[in-house]
């Protein structure tokens, strides 16, 4: 279990950034205290507080959507991810795992607090093999339940998007039409599985 990186991360997020903002506001407040009237001072406190909270929220929400953030706790997924077609094409963890609608987005962000708690209190895999052998199956069920839906795929593979699945040709035929994916109401995940995580000849490649 590796704790250092996450400790560093939280130190930056909760100690260094706030203290920097606090110092800026303190200097400005010194100026107001010297020259301003009481009403202006109160107004300044309120505005300052709102600005600080806003900045922290934006840093927290934006920062926690980057690959680097996810890979702090899931480093064993990195190598394979960056060798996969999606990783190479610059698709991010958030593109698939963080829904764009407000309900799904909020649920995942709040779920992240739970993940953090579990990470700090329970054993976590450190190698690809450990993850694959002991966590993968359990977690993928949770992923489908919590955050991973077909609408993520359709952002890029839907009609009119950069890589529409209905136009995919396989051995000369329009494969999804031939398989009647739409008529049968099939989900992408009924057929596409282990195409991002777990597709490498992992026992050989990952120790
Ligand atoms: C193109 C979509 C896509 C991207 C990008 C993606 N994932 Fe996944 N992820 C999936 C799918 C699909 C599953 C479900 C299981 C499977 O097929 O491997 C999954 C499952 C998972 C799981 C649960 C365990 C498992 O593998 O089943 C974790 C943890 C995870 N992803 C983390 C990440 C992280 C971290 C990144 C970024 C480095 C990332 N994912 C990028 C699609 C994606
Ligand atoms: C603070 C450490 C930490 C960070 C950062 C983190 N995770 Fe996780 N993740 C965990 C832990 C711990 C679990 C296991 C949760 C459980 O057992 O219920 C997990 C489980 C998962 C799962 C499978 C289970 C589920 O509920 O979906 C996915 C998918 C996943 N993480 C994706 C991500 C993505 C994407 C990011 C970046 C946006 C991310 N994680 C960032 C610690 C973390
Ligand atoms: C942000 C855009 C984006 C998202 C989201 C996305 N993809 Fe892709 N996908 C791509 C791009 C770009 C490629 C082409 C990569 C290449 O081959 O150059 C690709 C390739 C693929 C391939 C063929 C390559 C392979 O790995 O076998 C499959 C299958 C696929 N996507 C399925 C999915 C599924 C299922 C989802 C939903 C979990 C999904 N994609 C989400 C952009 C995306
Ligand atoms: C009935 C099974 C089935 C379903 C459901 C299905 N696919 Fe496919 N898909 C295939 C097959 C078979 C291929 C061609 C073989 C291959 O490339 O793996 C393919 C190929 C693809 C490719 C191109 C792969 C490449 O190598 O370039 C993409 C992208 C893709 N599917 C996306 C999707 C998305 C997005 C969904 C959900 C909306 C979906 N598929 C649903 C069976 C399915």
Nearest-angstrom CA–CA distance, 83 and 87: 6
Q: Where are the domains of the chain?
A: 1-63, 75-207
SS3 173: strand
| Per-residue pLDDT, 183 | 94
Q: Give yes or no for residue 198 CB within 6 A of ligand 1.
A: yes
For a ligand 1 pocket test, name from 98, 134, 143 the mutation site with the most ligand atoms within 8 angstroms of its C-beta: 143
CA 6 to chain CA mean position, Å = 15
DSSP state of 15: I
Does the beta carbon of 69 lie inside 6 Å of ligand 1? no
For the record, the structure tokens of 183 come out as 């008529």
Ligand nearest to the CA of 187: 4
pTM equals: 0.87
Distance of CA 113 to the CA centre of its chain: 12
How far from 24 is each of 30, 47, 117, CA to CA, in Å? 10, 13, 32
Number of H helices, E strands in the chain: 14, 2
Q: How far apart are CA 92 and CA 86, in angstroms?
A: 8
CA atoms within 13 A on the CB side of 83: 13
Q: Which residue has the tokens 């994916």?
A: 181
Q: Point out the ligand 2 atom lying closest to the alpha carbon of residue 147.
A: 27
**Probe target for ligand 2 pocket from 8, 66, 70, 74, with the most ligand atoms within 8 Å of CB:** 74
Cα(78)–Cα(131) distance, rounded to whole angstroms? Answer: 12
CA of 86 to the centre of ligand 3 (A): 6
Distance CA 5, CA 68 (A): 11
With a 6 A CB cut-off, is 142 part of the ligand 2 pocket? yes
**pLDDT on residue 202:** 59
Pocket test for ligand 2, best of 115, 138, 148 (most atoms within 8 A of CB): 115
Model pLDDT, residue 80: 93
Q: Which of 15, 14, 48, 53 is nearest to 30 (CA)?
A: 48
pLDDT in tens, the chain (207 residues): 344 456 666 666 677 777 887 788 788 778 777 777 777 778 877 888 888 888 888 888 888 889 999 999 999 999 999 999 999 999 999 999 999 999 999 999 999 999 999 999 999 999 999 999 999 999 999 999 889 999 999 999 999 999 999 999 999 999 999 999 999 999 999 999 899 998 876 556 655
């Amino acid at each position: 279990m590796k704790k250092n990186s996450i400790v560093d991360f939280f130190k930056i997020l909760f100690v260094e950034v706030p203290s920097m903002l606090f110092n800026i506001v303190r200097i400005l407040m010194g100026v107001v205290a010297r020259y301003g009237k009481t009403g202006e001072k109160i107004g300044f406190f309120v505005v300052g507080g709102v600005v600080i909270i806003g900045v922290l929220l934006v840093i927290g929400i934006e920062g926690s959507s980057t690959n680097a953030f996810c890979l702090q706790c899931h480093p064993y997924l990195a190598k394979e991810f960056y060798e996969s077609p999606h990783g190479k094409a610059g698709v991010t963890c958030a593109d698939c795992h963080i829904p764009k609608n407000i309900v799904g987005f909020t649920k995942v962000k709040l779920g992240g607090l739970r993940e953090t708690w579990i990470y700090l209190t329970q054993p976590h895999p450190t190698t690809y093999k450990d993850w694959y052998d002991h966590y993968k199956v359990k977690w993928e069920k949770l992923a489908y339940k919590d955050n991973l839906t077909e609408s993520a795929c359709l952002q890029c593979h839907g009609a009119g998007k950069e890589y529409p699945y209905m136009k995919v040709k396989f051995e000369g035929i329009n494969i999804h039409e031939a398989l009647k994916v739409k008529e049968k109401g099939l989900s992408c995940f009924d057929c596409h599985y282990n195409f991002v995580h777990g597709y490498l000849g992992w026992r050989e490649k990952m120790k």
